[in-house]
Amino acid sequence: MVSTPRDYKLLTPLRLSDDLELKNRMVFGPATRSRCDPVTHAPIERNAVYYEQRASAGLIVTEACAISEQGFGWYGAPGLYTDEQAKGWKEVVDRVHLKGGKIFVQIWHMGRQSHPSFHDNNEVVSASATLYESGRTRNSDGEHTSFERARALTIEEIPAVVEQFRKCAERAKEVGFDGVELHAAGGYLIDQFLQSNTNLRTDKYGGSFENRYRFLHEVIEAVKTVYPPGRIGVRTAPNSPYGGMGNADNVEVFTYVYKRLAEHGLAYLAILDGWEGVGTDSGYHGKCRALTTLDAKVAFQGTVIANKGYSKDIAEGVIRSGSADLVGRDHCAASTCGS
């Protein structure tokens, strides 16, 4: 029997937390569009239109939003650490809410994938002093260039970075976002702490799985002082080579991380179970077996969002199989969308 649209489980509601119900199981996920003001890093009119047009999704998760000047590093991307940026995001949130939509903001620190030209002190920081050698980026003038070696955060500096996440979440709540998603994927700062090729530390933030998870744990605890756990999500990408990532121990470390995340009672875990970019950063890193959404579901024991540019029929199958509860469309969908 062929399913008709009205039979699709994708179109059924899902309660994300005690006080938040989504009208369907489709998530319009984070996709950096580089359309913000390149000087102020604030959303502008076209950003508001873009998100307003997508309010029919059960949940919108915004493009990644820098938590601080230190965490910024993508030409044309947004931040959420100044009053002007907050004002731009309030316009976005208000328009989505007027259309009946729900919207979380994804917050990030780019770590070694930033470029020194974005920073007054002309340096980028990471979990360790590493270099993304094969990658390319754009500097603050929009010119294509190579990455530069990051400086390792000192153990004394880390609490201040955690506080940057908390302050950004505080601004998000003031703006009216329904929740926040912590960007722990893509080879950005949280991911740089989690994965062994970018975390070479020998202190309490490096070495064992527990130590590599510690930074993410502290960020979650800080954000929980602003939003309840049921309004916080975490995004991961254990299979992706993007950002020069991927390691032989990824299945083990991310399984450990998912089990630890289960302790927090979070709204969801989003897993990018592959990458659809181009060139050497596309596909799977191939350094261990792929970690599936079902693996994540078993370890996390909570709501899981699958993300891989699925067609609607494959997305429906993923949900019916029980390996995920919602399906995100982000990079694939964004490549064909207007506005």
> For 305-326, how does the pLDDT look when each residue is reduced to its tens digit (9 = 90+)?
998 778 889 899 999 999 999 9
For residues 26-45, give the mean pLDDT: 91
Residue 253 burial (C-beta neighbours within 10 Å; 0-12, 13-18, 19+): buried
Assign residue 208 a region (left: φ > 0; alpha: ψ between -120 and 50; beta: otherwise).
beta
pLDDT at 4: 58
Of the candidates 71, 148, 154, the one whose C-alpha atom is nearest the C-alpha of residue 106 is 71
Answer whether 267's CB lies under 8 Å from 230's CB.
yes
pLDDT at 332: 39
The CATH topology of domain 5-334 is: TIM Barrel (3.20.20)
Confidence check: pLDDT of 77 > 90: yes
Please state, in angstroms and as integers, the Cα–Cα distance from residue 1 to each residue in 7, 259, 320, following that order. 11, 38, 15
pLDDT tens-place string over residues 93-109: 999 999 999 999 999 99
- Where is pLDDT greater, at 139 or 226? 226
pLDDT at 33: 83
- Band (277; pLDDT cuts 50, 70, 90): low
pTM for this model (two decimals): 0.93
Confidence check: pLDDT of 10 > 90: yes
Structure tokens at 310: 């699925």
Least confident of 62-71, 175-184, 204-213, 235-244: 235-244
pLDDT tens-place string over residues 187-231: 999 999 999 999 999 999 999 999 999 999 999 999 999 999 999
Q: What amino acid positions are annotated as catalytic residues? A: 188
pLDDT at 191: 98
Q: Are strands 144-146 and 304-307 parallel, antiparallel or unpaired?
A: unpaired
- Band (175; pLDDT cuts 50, 70, 90): very high
Please state, in angstroms and as integers, the Cα–Cα distance from residue 108 to each residue in 84, 162, 195, 238, following that order. 18, 11, 16, 17
